[in-house]
């Protein structure tokens, strides 16, 4: 079989096999998030492909990218809400997946892609936990870190069986050099240069600067993604978790729980992209039948950190006068995620002031609950007219239910069920605008004083948003 040099391989991939991805990658990689024109150019690149447009919007509205559930209907809006780098990463991911699905051995290439997605999510989330400013750049660099391997298995030019056989009794580096004359990591590097993909990717491939935290995040992400195939309780996984815990100055238990959650996010994200083999490469994290005292402390610490991060983000949004709907969605997300609520609702008084109607809803069966959370304000007194009249937050626990039970009219009881809940009125200039409601209807976990105080704190941000942005 005639030997193909790495330059010839790059040329074939560039001109014959990967031309659409190469064009998309070049077009997107050359754009800068710093200019308004680049934002429009990114939108134009995406809008130039109707199939990509539909899939970008689908991902933009997925739970991973859009946990608030704020409907995004346009590519331009997705860039505003999610950010330039996020949408760029989505577009590159879609283009890469489409190219791989046309390959000869796309099953092997998809396996590499799944592990790359897993590594990218782990790297991005760990970078986010140390408040790195370039989390999306880290995601893209990790996602493309195995591009050469994916390209080979898509278009192996008859060498796939030889390399697979050589892998069985040689190291990956030795096998690749023997069969191909170069390593697949070197092919990634050459493709990255040809398509001008990422300076961070080149840094990660060079393995030269271990002081670069971004490169370290990528390396940790891949070591986790590769070793976890054999299960979560193996030495290699424990070792990389120990290293990450030292790097982040957090306990191994906290890092392990983060890794578990990141893997779940990765599976969901991969499935949203239309790939249904993630479970073959990412085992489910171990479940806990009961939490220890230490576990509960870890969870509480994580929730406190999340609360503070979201409250900081809200303060920034308000100072920058971001779109009010984005701010209100973030308020609901803070309540929903940091307090482990099952249902959160922002309801507003209708134009005729006769109905309280759900505007934003988070939680299971969101569509049905949105429809049922619609209550009259002028037929007779009920729990919501009572809250609006008092202009005070309410914690509807068992004691309060015994006092205010008659105000839970049949339509409200049918919609909410027999649950504890928090509710607080939203006002602008002393006039009632609506109510924010939250409960734990599915888990039936008891509400507590700390949760009530945090709920009130988040809701204060909604009141401020109405006052500042609702003018």
Q: What architecture is the 299-469 domain classified under in CATH?
A: 2-Layer Sandwich (3.30)
Cα pseudo-dihedral 240, 246, 248, 253, rounded to 10: 70
For the full predicted model, state whether its pTM sits above 0.95.
Answer: no
State how beta strands 421-428 and 394-396 pair: antiparallel
Rounded mean pLDDT of 344-371? 88
Q: What is the pLDDT of residue 106?
A: 66
What is the CATH code for 6-280?
A: 1.10.3210.10
Measured between alpha carbons, how far is 374 from 312 in angstroms, rounded to an integer?
32
Instruction: Say what the pLDDT of residue 441 is.
Output: 87
pLDDT of residue 292: 46
The confidence band for 17, taking pLDDT boundaries of 50, 70 and 90, is: confident
| pLDDT higher than threshold 60 for residue 398 | yes
Among 341, 330, 250, which Cα is nearest to 298's?
250
In degrees and rounded to multiples of 5, residue 358 shows phi and psi of -65, 130
Higher pLDDT, 42 or 288: 42
Any idea which of 94-98, 285-289, 443-447, 465-469 has the lowest mean pLDDT? 285-289
| pLDDT above 70 coverage of the chain, percent | 93
pLDDT at 36 over 60: no
Average pLDDT of the chain is 85
Domain boundaries, the chain: 6-280, 299-469
Structure tokens at 307: 């609360």
pLDDT value for 295: 44
- Separation between Cα atoms, residue 34 and residue 48, nearest integer Å: 22
Q: Quick one: tokens of 2?
A: 């005639």
């Amino acid at each position: 079989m005639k030997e193909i040099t790495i330059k010839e391989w790059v040329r074939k991939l560039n001109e014959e096999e990967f031309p659409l991805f190469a064009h998309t990658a070049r077009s997107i990689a050359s754009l800068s998030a710093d200019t308004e024109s680049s934002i429009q150019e990114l939108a134009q690149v995406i809008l130039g492909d109707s199939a990509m447009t539909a899939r970008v919007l689908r991902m933009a509205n997925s739970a991973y990218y859009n946990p608030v559930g704020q409907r995004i209907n346009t590519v331009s809006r997705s860039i505003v809400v999610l950010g330039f780098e996020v949408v760029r990463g989505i577009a590159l991911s879609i283009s890469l997946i489409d190219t791989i699905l046309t390959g000869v051995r796309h099953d092997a290439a998809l396996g590499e892609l799944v592990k790359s997605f897993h590594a990218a999510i782990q790297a991005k989330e760990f970078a986010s936990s140390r408040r790195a400013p370039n989390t999306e750049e880290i995601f893209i660099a990790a996602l493309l870190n195995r591009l050469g391997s994916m390209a080979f298995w898509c278009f192996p030019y008859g060498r796939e069986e030889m390399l697979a056989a050589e892998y069985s009794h040689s190291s990956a580096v030795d096998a690749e050099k023997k069969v191909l004359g170069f390593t697949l990591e070197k092919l990634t590097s050459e493709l990255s240069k040809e398509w001008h993909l990422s300076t961070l990717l080149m840094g990660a491939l060079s393995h030269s600067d271990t002081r670069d935290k971004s490169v370290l995040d990528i390396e940790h992400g891949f070591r986790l993604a590769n070793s976890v195939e054999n299960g979560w309780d193996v030495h290699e996984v424990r070792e990389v978790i120990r290293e990450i815990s030292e790097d982040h100055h957090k306990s191994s238990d906290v890092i392990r729980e983060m890794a578990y959650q990141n893997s779940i996010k990765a599976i969901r994200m991969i499935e949203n992209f239309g790939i249904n083999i993630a479970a073959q490469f990412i085992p489910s994290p171990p479940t806990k039948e009961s939490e220890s005292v230490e576990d509960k402390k870890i969870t509480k610490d994580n929730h406190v950190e999340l609360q503070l991060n979201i409250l900081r983000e809200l303060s920034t949004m308000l100072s920058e006068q971001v779109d009010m709907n984005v701010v209100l969605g973030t308020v609901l997300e803070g309540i929903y995620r940091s307090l482990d609520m099952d249902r959160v609702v922002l309801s507003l008084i209708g134009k005729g002031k006769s109905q309280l109607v759900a505007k934003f809803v988070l939680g299971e069966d969101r569509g049905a609950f949105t429809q049922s959370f619609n209550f009259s304000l002028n037929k007779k007194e009920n729990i919501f007219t009572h809250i609006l009249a008092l202009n005070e937050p309410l914690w509807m626990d068992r004691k309060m239910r015994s006092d205010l039970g008659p105000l839970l009219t049949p339509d409200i009881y049918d919609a909410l069920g027999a649950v504890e809940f928090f509710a607080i009125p939203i006002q602008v200039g002393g006039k009632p605008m609506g109510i924010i409601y939250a409960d734990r209807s599915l888990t039936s976990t008891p509400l507590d004083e700390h949760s009530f105080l945090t709920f009130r704190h988040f809701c204060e941000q909604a009141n401020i948003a109405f006052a500042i942005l609702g003018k």
